[in-house]
Amino acid sequence: MRQVWIPKAGPPEVLELREARDPIPKQGELRIRVAAAGVNFADVMGRLGLYPDLPPMPVVPGYEVAGRIDAVGDGVESDWVGRDVLAMTRFGGYADAVCVPEAQVSTRPPGMTAEEGAALPVNYLTAWQLLFVMGSLHAGETMLVHSAGGGVGIAATQLAKYVGARVFGTASAGKHDRLKALGVDACIDYTREDFEARVRELTHGRGVELILDAVGGASFMKSYRSLAPTGRLGMFGMSAAAAGKSRSLLRALGPALRTLRLRFKARRLIDQNKGVFGVNVGHLWDEGDRVASWMERLLALYVEGVVRPVVDRSFPLERAAEAHHYIQDRKNFGKVLLTA
Ligand SMILES: NC(=O)c1ccc[n+]([C@@H]2O[C@H](COP(=O)([O-])OP(=O)(O)OC[C@H]3O[C@@H](n4cnc5c(N)ncnc54)[C@H](OP(=O)(O)O)[C@@H]3O)[C@@H](O)[C@H]2O)c1
C-alpha cells in the first residue's frame, strides 16, 4: 500500500509518497481499504511544523477516511468485513489502508459515496460541537462563521439553516455567490471589509449570538466585540498563523502572541453577558461514546438530506502536495480530498 509522509516541516513539496506493507489490525481494530481521505487545514499546519498535536516527523497525517473494511482484529465481529464505512483516524489517513479502533468507525448510510463519507467526520463533528453542544444555537439567532466557504464553514451553515438561524459568513469574494446559494444571508469579504464594522452595520449595532472563529490572532478579539448580549464566541483554530507555504516561526509569531495576550476578564464576561469557549475534536478521543452519538445524529441528518458534504476537488494520493497548495491558495469551496 502507499502512504503520504511528512518527512520534515516545509512547503507542500516535502510531502513524500512511500510504499509500505499493509498494516495488520490489532485487538479491537478494523482495517479500512481507503477510497478517499479528507485533507484538513490541521494537516497544512502540521506540514508547516505549526501543529503541536502532530506526532514527531516523519509522520503520515490524516484525520478521516472512507472506504471498505477488508480485515478485523481480535474481538471485532467478522461481519464488518465488506462494509462501506467512514472513520476518524488519529493520523495515518493519507494512505491506501489504515487500521482504526472500532469505536471510530461508522457504516455509511445507503447512497453516501466514499467522497461524501471522507468529507464528513472532522467538519461536521466540529460544527456540531460548536453549534449545538457548546454554542447552543437556536432558531431566530444569528451566527457569524469565518472562512464560511471552507469545510467547517459549509457544515456549520447547513446545520444553522436547519435549526432556523440567520448566517453571516466571511470568505474570499469569489465564493460569495455559492455561499448565498447555500443560504448564507450576508457575505463579508474580509480582504476588503472590516468584519466587525460590517456586523455592527448589519445588526444595527447589536451584534450576533454565535461566532465561529478559527482565524485566531487579532480576529478573536474583534469577534468577541461583535457579540450581542448573551452572545457566545467559539474559538477552534488559528489559520492566521499559516501565513506562508514554508515553515516560518516569525510569520506565525504575530497571531500566536496576539492569541496568548487575550484576556477574557471574568467581571467583564459577567457584566457583558458574553461567553467564550474552545473546541478541538482532535482532543476528544476519550469521549468516544459522546462523539459517536453526535455522528449518529449527523448520519441521520444525511439520510434526511440536511447534511450534504460539499466536495470541491479530489486529488490522487500521489498529488497530495497540489491539494495542500489548493487550500493554502484559498481556492477551495468545501472539502478537498485525496483518492486512492
Ligand atoms: N478545533 C477543531 O476541532 C477544528 C476542526 C476542523 C477545523 N478546524 C480549523 O478550522 C479552520 C477551517 O478549517 P476547514 O477545514 O474548514 O478549512 P478549509 O476547508 O481547509 O478552508 C480553508 C479556507 O480557509 C480560509 N483561510 C483563512 N485563513 C487562511 C490562511 N491563512 N491560509 C489559507 N486559507 C485561509 C480560506 O478561505 P477564504 O479566503 O474564503 O476565507 C481557505 O480557502 C482551520 O483553522 C482549522 O484548523 C479546527
Give strand pairing partners of 257: none
The rounded distance, in Å, linking the Cα atoms of 115 and 95 is: 15
* pLDDT of res. 250: 65
Q: Is 171 in the pocket of ligand 1 (CB under 6 A)?
A: yes
The residue whose CA is least distant from atom 43 of ligand 1 is 330
Pair 214, 152: CB distance under 8 Å: yes
Q: Is 242 in the pocket of ligand 1 (CB under 6 A)?
A: yes
Cα 291 to ligand 1 centroid, rounded to whole Å: 22
The rounded distance, in Å, linking the Cα atoms of 66 and 81 is: 14
The residue whose CA is least distant from atom 8 of ligand 1 is 237
The beta-strand segments (E) located in 119-173 are 142-145, 166-170
pLDDT tens-place values along the chain, 340 residues long = 999 999 999 999 999 999 999 999 999 999 999 999 999 999 999 999 989 999 999 999 999 999 999 999 999 999 999 999 999 999 999 999 999 999 999 999 999 999 999 999 999 999 999 999 999 999 999 999 999 999 999 999 999 999 999 999 999 999 999 999 999 999 999 999 999 999 999 999 999 999 999 999 889 999 999 999 999 999 999 898 887 787 767 666 777 777 777 878 899 999 999 999 999 999 999 999 999 999 999 999 999 999 999 999 999 999 999 999 999 999 999 999 999 8
Q: Is 236 in the pocket of ligand 1 (CB under 6 A)?
A: yes
Q: Is 239 in the pocket of ligand 1 (CB under 6 A)?
A: yes
The model's pTM:
0.96
* pLDDT of res. 260: 72
The rounded distance, in Å, linking the Cα atoms of 224 and 211 is: 8
Transcribe 264-285 into DSSP letters: --HHHHHHHT-EEEE--GGG-G
Grid cell for residue 218: 487579532
The rounded distance, in Å, linking the Cα atoms of 99 and 190 is: 41
Transcribe 307-326 into DSSP letters: ----EEEEEEGGGHHHHHHH
Cα 245 to ligand 1 centroid, rounded to whole Å: 14
Largest distance between two CA atoms of the chain? 61
Query: What count of other Cβ atoms lies within 10 Å of the Cβ of residue 313?
Result: 16
Q: Is 323 in the pocket of ligand 1 (CB under 6 A)?
A: no
The beta-strand segments (E) located in the chain are 2-5, 16-19, 29-39, 64-72, 84-88, 97-101, 105-107, 142-145, 166-170, 186-188, 208-213, 227-235, 275-278, 311-316, 335-339
Cα 131 to ligand 1 centroid, rounded to whole Å: 17
Answer positive or negative: Cα dihedral of 169, 175, 177, 182: negative
Give strand pairing partners of 311: 335
* pLDDT of res. 242: 82
Cα 134 to ligand 1 centroid, rounded to whole Å: 20
Q: Is 86 in the pocket of ligand 1 (CB under 6 A)?
A: no
* pLDDT of res. 45: 93
Cα–Cα nearest to 108, from 182, 205, 20, 35: 35
Please report the atom of ligand 1 found closest to the CA of residue 238: 45
Residue 98 has φ and ψ, to the nearest 5°, of -150, 145
The rounded distance, in Å, linking the Cα atoms of 144 and 84 is: 35
Helices (H), 130-287: 151-162, 176-181, 195-202, 218-225, 249-260, 266-272
* pLDDT of res. 268: 92
Grid cell for residue 82: 465488506
Cα–Cα nearest to 252, from 75, 45, 61, 95: 45
